[in-house]
Structures are given as structure tokens and as C-alpha cells.
């Protein structure tokens, strides 16, 4: 056996590279550029949010293929409606709203066309902390953009803290501080959502 790594745990994807290569404008700037006649800039928003959006949808649809289809559909609807977006800095949470509707439509379609009990089985089953219907992607949408960007790069693009620092041209200490603050905000948000859900569930009880 060799001196170097033998286990193949690193799976690289060109999409990751693309994310690293694309210019790091803010969501608002990308939206503005799309509106200013550069529709190709929408690709950067897709690269930025395709993974969290997929993960969000994965808990709402039946299988991986449907999650991908729903994610595509959500992005395309977002593109078509981009001129209606009132707060471009809230692009991601607006996108999640669109995705929620797409998933519901898909669910209703399934319910009409299939009598398959598995139709409501979510794709995400390995998340032990996953409590019902409050995926972390919604909580991420609430974060300030710089915090959200660090979380997305660290987890969804799989960059190390050092790589995030290089990518965003900020000191490593700023990355850890931003992560620390982002974790606190996420926990707060998830806790609040958990409480709200429990309240709703209790209300729903006969």
C-alpha cells in the first residue's frame, strides 16, 4: 500500500469548481445584472443555490429525480419572474417560496395520479435531528448574506475554512467568527421553528 491517500472519500464535481470560479457578487448584484440585460448571470445564482435548493426539496418530494426536476422548475420560474422580485437581496428566500409551491403542485399531481403510499416518503431520512418539516435550508435563508455565503461554501460546496478564507479573501479568523455567529443564528432560528411546529401540531390534535 502506498504512503499517500488510498481511500477515495473526496468526490469532486465540476459544479464545485464552477462555484469557485464564478465571480462572488452579492445576490442583489446578480439579480440586477440579469435585469440589466445579462441573463447569463442567472447561472451564477443557480450554481450558488442549486444544492441547498435541492436539499430543501428532497424532504418534500418523493425521490431524487423529482427533487432535481422541482429544483430546475423552481429556478426557471424564478428567472421568468425576476422582474417581480421586490427585494433582490432576498433572492434565496423568495426562491424557496417558489420551490415550496412547485413541490406542492408536484405532490398534488402525484396524489391524483398515483396511489402509492411511498409518494410522501421524503428523500432525507438520515438526518436524526430532522424534526418533521423544518429543514435547515429555510433557516439558512434567514441568515444575513455574508453568514449565508460562508455556510454555503463550507457545507454545500465542501470547502475547508481555509479555502473559504481564500475564496472570500478574508482572514481565517473572520471565517470562524462568521461561522460561530451563523451557528448561533441558525440554532436560534431552528429552535423557534421547532417551537412553532410543536404549537401547530398540538393545535392540530383532536
Partner 1 sequence: MNCAECRDNLVACAEGLLDSPGETLLRAHLDACADCRAEYQAISNLQQRLIAHAQTAAQVSIAEAVMRRVRRKQVKPEGETIMSKLLKYRWGLGLGATAAVAIALLGFLLSTPRAQAKAAEVMTRGAKALAKLSSIHLRGQIRAYPQDNFASINPDGQFYSIELWKQFEPELKWRIEKPQRVAVMDGLSTVMLIKTANMGVRVPQPSSSAFDTEWLHRIASLSNTIANELRNATDKGWKLSLAEETGPDGKLKSVVTVLANSGLLDDDYLKNKSFKNADTRRVYRFDAQSELLESVQIYLARPSGEVPIFDLNQIDYNEPIDLKEWQLELPADVSWFQEPQKLPDNQKYASMTAEQAARAFFEACARKDWVEVGKFVSPVNQQLKDYLGGLQLLSLGESFSSKAYAGRFVPYEIKLSDGTVKKLNLAIRNDNPSARWQVDGGI
Q: Which of residues 93-122 bind partner 1 (CB under 8 A)?
A: none
Assess contact for 150 and 179: CB atoms under 8 A: yes
Q: How far, in Å, CA of 179 to CA of 97, rounded?
A: 25
Per CB under 8 A, does 14 bind partner 1?
A: yes
Binding-site member from 32, 130, 168, 170 for partner 1 (CB under 8 A): 130
Give me the phi and psi of 56, to 5 degrees please. -60, -45
Binding-site member from 119, 166, 168, 170 for partner 1 (CB under 8 A): 166
Site string for partner 1, 28-67 (x = CB under 8 A): ---------xxxx-xxx-xx--xxx-xx--x---------
Binding-site member from 180, 195, 199, 201 for partner 1 (CB under 8 A): 180
Per CB under 8 A, does 3 bind partner 1?
A: yes
Per CB under 8 A, does 76 bind partner 1?
A: yes
C-alpha angle 73-76-81 in degrees, rounded to nearest 5? 125
Binding-site member from 92, 99, 156, 193 for partner 1 (CB under 8 A): 156
Residue 150 corresponds to which cell in the numbers above?
A: 460562508
Per CB under 8 A, does 192 bind partner 1?
A: no
Stretch that binds partner 1, among 12-20, 86-94, 96-104, 192-200 (CB under 8 A): 12-20
Residue 103 corresponds to which cell in the numbers above?
A: 413541490
**Using CB atoms within 10 A of its CB, is residue 40 exposed (0-12), middle (13-18) or buried (19+)?**
exposed
Nearest Cα neighbor of 55 from 147, 150, 152, 120 is 152
Where residue 116 falls (left for φ over 0; alpha for ψ -120 to 50; beta otherwise) is: beta
Per CB under 8 A, does 21 bind partner 1?
A: yes
Where residue 158 falls (left for φ over 0; alpha for ψ -120 to 50; beta otherwise) is: left
Specify the residue, 43 or 97, whose C-beta has the smaller distance to partner 1.
Answer: 43
Stretch that binds partner 1, among 69-77, 113-121, 141-149, 194-202 (CB under 8 A): 69-77
Stretch that binds partner 1, among 89-97, 105-113, 171-179, 198-206 (CB under 8 A): 171-179
Per CB under 8 A, does 84 bind partner 1?
A: no
Amino acid at each position: 500500500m502506498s504512503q499517500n491517500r488510498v481511500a477515495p472519500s473526496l468526490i469532486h464535481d465540476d459544479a464545485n469548481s464552477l462555484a469557485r470560479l464564478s465571480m462572488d457578487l452579492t445576490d442583489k448584484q446578480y439579480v440586477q445584472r440579469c435585469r440589466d440585460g445579462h441573463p447569463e448571470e442567472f447561472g451564477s445564482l443557480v450554481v450558488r443555490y442549486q444544492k441547498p435548493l435541492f436539499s430543501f426539496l428532497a424532504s418534500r418530494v418523493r425521490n431524487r429525480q423529482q427533487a432535481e426536476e422541482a429544483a430546475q422548475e423552481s429556478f426557471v420560474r424564478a428567472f421568468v419572474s425576476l422582474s417581480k422580485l421586490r427585494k433582490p437581496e432576498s433572492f434565496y428566500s423568495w426562491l424557496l417560496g417558489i420551490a415550496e409551491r412547485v413541490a406542492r403542485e408536484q405532490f398534488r399531481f402525484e396524489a391524483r395520479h398515483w396511489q402509492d403510499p411511498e409518494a410522501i416518503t421524503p428523500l432525507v431520512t438520515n438526518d436524526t435531528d430532522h424534526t418533521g418539516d423544518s429543514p435547515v435550508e429555510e433557516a439558512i435563508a434567514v441568515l444575513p448574506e455574508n453568514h449565508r455565503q460562508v455556510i454555503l461554501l463550507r457545507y454545500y460546496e465542501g470547502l475547508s475554512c481555509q479555502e473559504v478564507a481564500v475564496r472570500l479573501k478574508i482572514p481565517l479568523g473572520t471565517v470562524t467568527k462568521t461561522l460561530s455567529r451563523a451557528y448561533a443564528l441558525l440554532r436560534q432560528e431552528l429552535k423557534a421553528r421547532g417551537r412553532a411546529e410543536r404549537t401547530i401540531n398540538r393545535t392540530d390534535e383532536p
